[in-house]
Amino acid sequence: MWGSGFFNISEVSGFSGQSGISLFGSKATLKYSDNKLYGGTKDENSLEEIVIPPEFEDEWRVEQEFINAIRGKEKVKLTTFKDGLKYMEITEAVYKSIQTGKHISI
């Protein structure tokens, strides 16, 4: 059975708490916040930190991978060229929106 998830990023919402991702399942909950992973089952009283072994750690580097692929420095591993282009369109729209104070349609 699938659970539900919530993703919140805000620099202006009062009392929104830390940015993070929470996944709520029928048997357990996972929460990623402040570069740490927490988890707990419905039978436990609180979430405990789950230590991620170094061999499973990775960085989000989609933008760098996209640029390096264009320059022929590396092959795309996770993000296709089409997806990378969409990310760049979104990034540009955010920049334009900040500069103009207006909504930018993509």
pLDDT digits (tens, 9 = 90+) for 33-58: 888 899 999 899 999 999 989 888 87
The verdict on residue 23 lying in a domain is yes
DSSP letters spanning 39-84: EEETTSSS-EEEPPPGGG-----HHHHHHHHHTTSS--SSS-HHHH
| Total number of domains in the chain | 2
Q: Tell me whether residue 87 is in a domain.
A: yes
Residues of the chain with pLDDT under 50: 1
Residue span of the structural domain in which 49 resides: 4-56
* Same-domain status, 15 and 45: yes
